[in-house]
Chains A and B, each alone.
Chain A
Amino acid sequence: MPKPDELLFALKTFVGAMAAFYVSAWLGLDAPYWAMATAFIVAQPFAGAMRSKALYRLCGTLAGGTAAVVLVPNLANATVLLSLAMALWIGLCLYIALLDRSPRSYTFMLAGYTAGIIGFPSVGDPSHIFETALTRVEEISIGIACTTMVGTLIFPRPLGPVLARRMSSWVKPAVDWSVAALAGEEESPLALEARRQLAFEATDAAMMISQLAYDISHLQSAVRLVTRVRLYIISLMPVLSSVGDRVAQLKKLGGITPELAAVLDGTTAWVQHGTPEEAGPLLQKIMAVEETAHDWAGLLRASLCVRLEELVRLVRHSRAIRLHVLEGTKAPDNITLDADYVAVLTETHDHKLALLSALAAVLAVLAVCCIWVETGWSSGGGAAIIVAVACSFFAAQDDPAPAIALMLRNALIVIAAVFVYDFAILPHVDDFIGLCLVLLPPGLVIGVLISRPATFGTGMVMGAFGATQLALNNGYRADFATFANSSVALIVGLGSALVITRIIRSVGAAWSAERLLRANWRDVAAAANGRQDRAALTGLMIDRLGLMMPRLAAVASGADAAAQMALKDLRVGLNMIGLHKIHAQLPPVARHASEAVLAGVAAHYQGDASQPPPGKLCDAIDATIRAIQDNPLEHKLALMSLSGLRTVLFPVYLPPEPLGDAA
């Protein structure tokens, strides 16, 4: 049974849709059901999500309408060329849309198939294309205006509190993981779970944060702050991974001094329940830990302290911002922590997969156009529109085929319902109130479906298809030929989209995860060659980790190991960047040895990096360390990078032999 708030949302959606229909019909527009369909498409439970989608839809419609007005009259006499141009435009827009992973991508996707929606039916009579395009834009605007008005003014559901809850939910995994790392027990079930959660959230929250800008709660203006917190969480992950590794190694070597143990305990206690103000003394304590021993354990201790400092600073900043945003405490003095270990927001783009999706859409549209032109079927344009929509809509998924199959099933249900309405119910309806009453039951069902995340797509598809298949107009004109034609067009369109997607576009989750992993390796190799930036590398690789997590969880039980590996790869990359920066200042002997390190890492990551790295590389690292360990203060950075690298790549190797005494 639907809950009261779901019913309320359904009612709001229905009122918005009928109002949009009424206004368009009252203005005498040609196809008022477009406004109605838009009302269902834009409807979303959260005000922020709805308002952003409304804006994106408006922009996309404008762009698509313009493209149709430009293309159709110029190529109306050459059907083949026109089909080709339309298909390429749809493909191009889809390609751009797939490169933008934010909700804004809807604009580009829509610009593609809107050109089809306006252009294909006008091919026979291109002289009216401008009016058709204008009508469509007007009706979309009316639909958007009605839905957003109803959705925003009548019991709106702000996104802010939801995001606030989500932000609070980051605290527990972050603290769990930190505590486990500080104890050197990164493999505990709690820490594994925490890592999975954080990696997923760091990437997944991006969408909601971008919708927050359109929200109606006071958190609307906090987008920048929430983004900072997300950034700190991203930056925290490699730091935690290295802290955990070093503590574990030190424990194994028995190298934890009482001083260090006190600092570790202090940090653990502060991470669990310290205020941002208490971080200052703790930082001073960490920085005061002086390292005199120049052996391997000493090196580990010194680099651990650097990481601890980063950890505390990151946690302090995110904590201060969270308290400010959620509880309204005083704003932190400077919300931007300006340090080289803070990541920048980067999104990975999969050009190849985007191209493949675009190619599938182009071929599918061309195939349907071929059938259309060869058979001279009057509703072939409708099928071409549907195929473009179906190929675009789910293109961001690894395998869009199941979603398209579901769409086909929903379309069949819609066709059955429209048949009943067209020939049994609507003939008895002769005024607007009656129309509202007979449409209320399916409208409410669709609204409830839209309000539930799991059935959101189903509800939206049913609303949009239902409104367009019903094709309500001023006055009743049921006609079996029209109904049959548009229904067959819907089925043919979805069917061909399904077939072509299955043939050329479907990929598995495992394959995608593997590609992400390989892209990571390429970036690490690039870092070893000095072609990467620290902040960008962190942003990029954590982004990929977030994309990998759900895919790995879907295919295998080894997701944790893979996530662990991705973090280790990232740390290798960061150490390589560090080493590259100071490489030129090393004394000649050390420089020679470190060149071997850089080349060795690059070679390792250009090949299959899931294999254990060659022992030769370990020797090269040890040789470099030996060459500079007499001068630890001058070469602190190099020693940090090298010891970090050795910890990540050769965790089971014994500590380098000759270290301890100057060799």
Chain B
Amino acid sequence: MIGEIDLFGVLLPPLLVWVGVALLLSTLLRRGLAKVGFYRFVWHRPLFDISLLVILTGLVSLAATLVF
């Protein structure tokens, strides 16, 4: 995926945008997981969170390639 996303004249690398979207999604997901007490079973919360972010970024960019 080479190319740039033109946001009102500001050119952004696509990865930055995908990470932004993934960050938003992961925030929502983390809130939900914390609410149901999921984190009681997680050994290393930060590691889990960052892995979650990487996976979501991967999914978002995959979805983006499929759509565009």
Which residue numbers of A lie inside 8 Å of B, CB to CB? 47, 152-153, 156, 158, 216-218, 220-221, 328
> Which one of B3-11, B19-27, B42-50 contacts A?
B42-50
B35 contacts across to A, CB distance below 8 A: 221
| Cβ-closest chain B residue relative to A215 | B45
User: Taking chain B's interface residues, is the majority helix, strand, or loop, or is none over half, making it mixed?
Assistant: helix
* Shortest beta-carbon distance from A144 to chain B in Å: 15
**Nearest 8 CB-CB pairings of A with B:** A218-B39, A152-B46, A216-B45, A221-B34, A218-B40, A216-B46, A153-B46, A156-B46
Complex Cα–Cα for A220 and B39 (A) = 10
Do A220 and B40 have beta carbons less than 8 Å apart? no
A156 contacts across to B, CB distance below 8 A: 44, 46
A328 contacts across to B, CB distance below 8 A: 37, 40
User: Taking chain A's interface residues, is the majority helix, strand, or loop, or is none over half, making it mixed?
Assistant: helix
Do B45 and A217 have beta carbons less than 8 Å apart? yes
Do A153 and B40 have beta carbons less than 8 Å apart? no
**Contacts A152-B46, A158-B45, A220-B39 known; 16 new A-B pairs at CB < 8 A:** A47-B46, A153-B46, A153-B50, A156-B44, A156-B46, A216-B45, A216-B46, A217-B45, A218-B34, A218-B37, A218-B42, A218-B45, A220-B34, A221-B34, A221-B35, A328-B40
Complex Cα–Cα for A158 and B39 (A) = 13
Complex Cα–Cα for A479 and B34 (A) = 55
Do A153 and B34 have beta carbons less than 8 Å apart? no
Complex Cα–Cα for A649 and B37 (A) = 50
B40 contacts across to A, CB distance below 8 A: 218, 328
- Contact mask B25-66 → A, CB, 8 Å, 1/0? 000000000110101101011110010000000000000000
Chosen A-B contacts, 14 in total, with CB atoms closer than 8 Å, are: A47-B46, A152-B46, A153-B46, A153-B47, A156-B44, A216-B45, A217-B39, A218-B34, A218-B39, A218-B42, A218-B45, A220-B34, A220-B39, A328-B40
A153 contacts across to B, CB distance below 8 A: 46-47, 50
* Shortest beta-carbon distance from B19 to chain A in Å: 14
A152 contacts across to B, CB distance below 8 A: 46
* Shortest beta-carbon distance from A170 to chain B in Å: 23
Complex Cα–Cα for A439 and B34 (A) = 41
A158 contacts across to B, CB distance below 8 A: 45
| Cβ-closest chain B residue relative to A160 | B45
A217 contacts across to B, CB distance below 8 A: 39, 45
B47 contacts across to A, CB distance below 8 A: 153
B45 contacts across to A, CB distance below 8 A: 158, 216-218
* Shortest beta-carbon distance from B47 to chain A in Å: 6
Identify the interface centre among A156, A218, A220, A221: most chain B CB within 10 Å of its CB. A218
Complex Cα–Cα for A217 and B37 (A) = 11
B37 contacts across to A, CB distance below 8 A: 218, 328
* Shortest beta-carbon distance from A217 to chain B in Å: 7
Complex Cα–Cα for A220 and B34 (A) = 9
Complex Cα–Cα for A28 and B35 (A) = 44
* Shortest beta-carbon distance from B62 to chain A in Å: 25
B42 contacts across to A, CB distance below 8 A: 218
* Shortest beta-carbon distance from A226 to chain B in Å: 15
| Cβ-closest chain A residue relative to B31 | A221
Complex Cα–Cα for A328 and B41 (A) = 12
Complex Cα–Cα for A47 and B44 (A) = 12
B44 contacts across to A, CB distance below 8 A: 156
Complex Cα–Cα for A611 and B34 (A) = 55
Complex Cα–Cα for A152 and B50 (A) = 10
* Shortest beta-carbon distance from B10 to chain A in Å: 17
* Shortest beta-carbon distance from B7 to chain A in Å: 21
| Cβ-closest chain B residue relative to A151 | B46
* Shortest beta-carbon distance from A661 to chain B in Å: 62
Complex Cα–Cα for A328 and B37 (A) = 10
* Shortest beta-carbon distance from B41 to chain A in Å: 9
Complex Cα–Cα for A144 and B40 (A) = 28
| Cβ-closest chain B residue relative to A328 | B40
A216 contacts across to B, CB distance below 8 A: 45-46
| Cβ-closest chain B residue relative to A156 | B46
| Cβ-closest chain B residue relative to A148 | B46
| Cβ-closest chain B residue relative to A217 | B45
Complex Cα–Cα for A156 and B35 (A) = 22
Complex Cα–Cα for A153 and B47 (A) = 6
Identify the interface centre among A153, A156, A158, A216: most chain B CB within 10 Å of its CB. A216
| Cβ-closest chain B residue relative to A221 | B34
| Cβ-closest chain A residue relative to B46 | A152
* Shortest beta-carbon distance from B58 to chain A in Å: 19
| Cβ-closest chain A residue relative to B40 | A218
Identify the interface centre among B34, B35, B44, B50: most chain A CB within 10 Å of its CB. B44
* Shortest beta-carbon distance from B42 to chain A in Å: 8
Complex Cα–Cα for A47 and B45 (A) = 11
Complex Cα–Cα for A156 and B49 (A) = 13
Identify the interface centre among B35, B39, B44, B46: most chain A CB within 10 Å of its CB. B46
Complex Cα–Cα for A515 and B14 (A) = 60
Complex Cα–Cα for A158 and B43 (A) = 11
Complex Cα–Cα for A567 and B19 (A) = 55
Complex Cα–Cα for A218 and B42 (A) = 9
* Shortest beta-carbon distance from A335 to chain B in Å: 15
Complex Cα–Cα for A153 and B43 (A) = 12
| Cβ-closest chain A residue relative to B35 | A221
Complex Cα–Cα for A520 and B2 (A) = 68
Complex Cα–Cα for A153 and B44 (A) = 8
| Cβ-closest chain B residue relative to A158 | B45
Complex Cα–Cα for A319 and B32 (A) = 27
* Shortest beta-carbon distance from B54 to chain A in Å: 12
* Shortest beta-carbon distance from B49 to chain A in Å: 8
